[in-house]
Amino acid sequence: MKFVDEAFIDVAAGDGGNGCVSFRHEKYKEFGGPNGGDGGRGGHVYAVADSSLNTLVDYRYSRRHEAQRGEHGMGSDMFGAAGSDITLKFPVGTIICDAETGEVLHELLVPGEAIILAKGGDGGFGNMRFKSSINRAPRQKTPGWPGERKSLKLELKVLADVGLLGMPNAGKSTLIAAISNARPKIADYPFTTLHPNLGVVRVGPEQSFVVADVPGLIEGAAEGAGLGHQFLRHLQRTRLLLHLVDIAPFDEAVDPVAQARAIVAELKKYDPALHAKPRWLVLNKLDMVPVAEREARVKDFVRRLRYKGPVFSISALTREGCEELIKSVYQHLQAQHRSEQPPAEIDPRFAPVGGEGGSE
């Protein structure tokens, strides 16, 4: 399925039905009085977060979504039926914005979460609503209220715990295939990844995390060069970034340190908050370096980059060092999760009496 992470749609809730002017006409009931009913409510347009979806492709070619209008009121005290609602299903992580102002209206972050995108108009009043002691035969009615109409921009940011970033052909797709259930396209030329890939990494029973692989970045990505800039938004919700670097490029003129610095600079240009996220250095393609030279090359790289954070040396192809990497990532995510949890409230029945020293 084609991956689409942006779409524009128009939604229109149903108009309310009009009220009715009617009078009771029965034998021997010369002045039966008004019996015109109210119009029915227009249908609402709902949005629901569906965890089984991972793309907005359904809305790329289907832009207009309109709910049914309410039925008009009728005689014999009969109210019009409400219009049918419609429900639009979106992937979890979809941001719904006003297409004209860019204002964020909703974010669907929880599977099954439902919101009203456009509210249906209320039905109009029939003439039975206007009956009074001084107006026994009212001929007033009101039309139904119009339903809401909106032009919306849909933007999908995938929900992942860990994001992979790096230059094209750094080995991101090979790594996500080695450690997770994702099966992206892998080839020996750059830009084989054309859309984000999500994979679930199993660390143990009921222990897992989600990793996202986006197309490789190049220098100038923040200004629109290459493909990666289109998908950098998918890294904004991650809790940890793994910066993959090809430690043994085929072209001897390529400097891995310069490439690593270029990636960091592009992150800072694109979004300072993304640049401030925890970022670990992962030196890949260790199998291309002779065993006797590995330690020295890694130390030289870290020294020249002046990097102070965690460093992992791996080979995604042979899976050397991958086990240690995923265990460290899982432990970091768990520690981060515990630190974000609010402190547990103490039941007043079990709270210490008399301050820290207890009762005297």
Tens of pLDDT, residues 254-266: 888 888 888 888 8
pLDDT confidence tier of residue 8, bands split at 50, 70 and 90: very high
Number of domains present in the structure of the chain = 2
According to the model, what pLDDT value does residue 10 have?
Answer: 94
Among 230, 214, 210, 211, which residue's Cα sits nearest to residue 222?
A: 230
Q: Is the pLDDT of residue 273 over 90?
A: no
**pLDDT, tens digit, 9 for 90 and up, residues 117-155:** 999 999 999 998 899 888 888 989 999 999 999 999 998
Q: Which of 122-126, 234-238, 331-335, 337-341 has the lowest mean pLDDT?
A: 337-341
The CA distance from 18 to 72, in Å, is 5
**pLDDT, tens digit, 9 for 90 and up, residues 215-244:** 655 555 444 444 445 567 777 778 888 888
pLDDT confidence tier of residue 358, bands split at 50, 70 and 90: very low
| N-terminal to C-terminal alpha carbon distance within the chain | 71
The CA distance from 152 to 154, in Å, is 6
pTM of the model: 0.64
According to the model, what pLDDT value does residue 222 have?
Answer: 45
Q: Which one of 121, 156, 191 terminates a domain?
A: 156
Q: Which of 265-269, 285-289, 319-323 has the lowest mean pLDDT?
A: 265-269
Domain of residue 178 covers 162-340
Q: Where are the beta strands (DSSP E) in 78-122?
A: 86-91, 94-98, 104-108, 114-118
Question: Domain containing 295 — which CATH number?
Answer: 3.40.50.300
DSSP class per residue in 6-19: EEEEEEEPPPPPPP
242 within 8 A of 176, measured Cβ to Cβ: no
Same domain, 166 and 152: no
The larger pLDDT score, comparing residue 195 to residue 117, is at: 117
Supply the mean pLDDT for the chain: 81
Same domain, 176 and 301: yes
Same domain, 332 and 237: yes
Collapsing DSSP states into helix, strand and coil, what is residue 353? coil
Among 229, 105, 228, 211, which residue's Cα sits nearest to residue 159?
A: 211
Residue 72: φ, ψ to 5°: -75, 155
44 within 8 A of 85, measured Cβ to Cβ: yes
- Dihedral over Cα of 181, 182, 185, 191: its sign: negative
Question: Domain containing 84 — which CATH number?
Answer: 2.70.210.12
**pLDDT, tens digit, 9 for 90 and up, residues 70-92:** 999 998 889 999 999 999 999 88
- Please report, as a single letter, which amino acid is at residue 178: A
Same domain, 176 and 95: no
Same domain, 250 and 180: yes
Which residue carries 């009121």 as its tokens?
73
